[in-house]
Structure 1
Amino acid sequence: MDWTKIIWALLLGAMILFLWPRAKHMLKNSPKAEKGDWQAVVLPMAFVIGFVILLIMMV
């Protein structure tokens, strides 16, 4: 095995180890979704999907 792969694996493991408690805290203390929140996600996503389909059709 290459020594750089070992170093990258150790760094990735350390990053996961340090980020895990913060992610757990953010998930526990995040605001809950309300009724109108999904429209704020679906509308831009539909626009992006429609734009990608338009670009594919133009080719």
Structure 2
Amino acid sequence: MDWMKIVAALALIMFIVYLFPRARHMMENSPKGSSADWMGFVVPILVIVLFVMLLVQLV
């Protein structure tokens, strides 16, 4: 291993150590989604999937 790979690996480990506690805090204290929130997410994703399937069928 050359020194660039070692530095990159150390930087990645430092980012993980730095971000993990903050991510855990955000997940514990985030608002919970209601069914209306989930439908607002699912419907556009479903429309996009159906549109892509239509495009695949047209090819």
TM bucket (normalised to shorter chain) is 0.7 to 0.9
Question: How far 1:37 moved relative to its partner?
Answer: 1.4
Alignment partners' CA distance in 2, 1:11 and 1:51: 41
Aligned to 1:17: 17
Q: CA RMSD in A?
A: 1.3
Question: How far 1:50 moved relative to its partner?
Answer: 1.5
**Structure 2 unaligned regions, length at least 5:** none
For residues 13-58 of structure 1, the C-alpha deviation after alignment (integer angstroms, 9 at most, x for no partner) is: 1111110111011011100111211101111111221122122223
**Structure 1 unaligned regions, length at least 5:** none
Aligned residues: 59
TM-score relative to the length of structure 1: 0.83
Aligned to 2:55: 55
**Counterpart residue identity of residue 22, structure 1:** R
Question: How far 1:11 moved relative to its partner?
Answer: 0.8
TM-score relative to the length of structure 2: 0.83
